[in-house]
Each structure stands twice: as structure tokens, then as C-alpha cells.
Amino acid sequence: MKKILYSFLAIVLGLVLSGAGCNQDAYDPDTYDVGVEINGVTWATRDVGEFGKFVAKPEDEGVTYYWNNKNYENLNYWEAAHDPCPSGWKVPTDTQMNASFPSGQIVRTTISGINGAYLGTAPNQIFLKVEGGAVYWNSINRGYAVLLVVGTDLYSAVGTNAGATDSNKYRIRCVKI
């Protein structure tokens, strides 16, 4: 009986130490993000870096992408296959962006010497790096992107950049699926 118990414990310990049955990617810092809920939408705390990965810190600037990640596509929505967000995340819709960041919920700040803004209401806020303005793609309405403008005042607004074209490259901040 003792041998059986020791064998069982050895197997269980081996599985635990090897991580078998666990989702190893769940805590990969490149793909895992706790997210912050703002007005019913869970936002990633960091921009997208390389395809399928987040940047290391909220103040790091994300990679810029063409619409739908392929310049030859002629669609008015972002195809899931081209979505650069890590698994479990997606490019937000314009409705999610505009509803999440109404005027007055944007506070200018500096983190580690990087100019930016907190979006949302404390404690549910995310930081976006902004140098006069930041433009982020949404997944609907090709030709439109959401523009964050932070002026010299403490508050600013989110607006629509109707001049966006397939040749523009903008950053992406993902939302939880």
C-alpha cells in the first residue's frame, strides 16, 4: 500500500512540476493581460506589439498596423484571421471605444517621463502613450479610426478620424472577447 501511495504522489508531483494540464500561455507576459473594465468593456492595459503579443509596459508604444493587417483587403470589418490581438482579445469596435471613453474621463499624465493619458475613471483606468494625439484602429467602419487628443488642459475627448485610409498605420488597444 505504501508503494502505491508513493507512486501516486510521485506521478502527481511530476505532473504539477511539468505543468501538464495547465495553460502555459495563460501567464505568458507577452500574451496575458489582466485587463481593466471601463464602462462594461474590458480593455488590455498595454498596446499590441508584434502580431499576437502585447508590449511589455503600458507606457511602451505599440506597433502600428495597416487596416485589417493586410493592405490589399477591401472589407469594412476586421477579419478575425488578421486580428493582431493575442488569443482571447480582439480589435475593439468603434462603439466600444466611444462608449468606454466619454469626454471628461481622460486625464493627462506622465509615467516614467512618457506623456500620455489615463482613460476611464479611477480605479478603472488604462494608460495610453500620447504625444499630442494618438490614433487607434477599431474593427468596424473601414476608413474611420478613433483619435485620442490630449491638449494642454486636463481633460480632452475621443473623436473619430474620418480621414483614415488603408495606407495609414495606427496602434491597437485590444478588448476582451
Cell of 89: 482579445
Tell me the whole-structure pTM to 2 decimals.
0.77
How far is CA 1 from its chain centroid?
Answer: 53
pLDDT (0 to 100) of residue 120: 84
Order of strands across the sheet with 124-129? Answer: 106-111, 114-121, 124-129
* 23 vs 27, more confident: 27
AA identity, residue 96: Q
pLDDT digits (tens, 9 = 90+) for 72-120: 566 777 888 889 999 999 999 878 887 787 666 677 788 888 888 888 8
Return the top range by mean pLDDT from 15-24, 35-44, 127-136.
Answer: 35-44
pLDDT digits (tens, 9 = 90+) for 149-168: 655 544 455 666 666 777 78
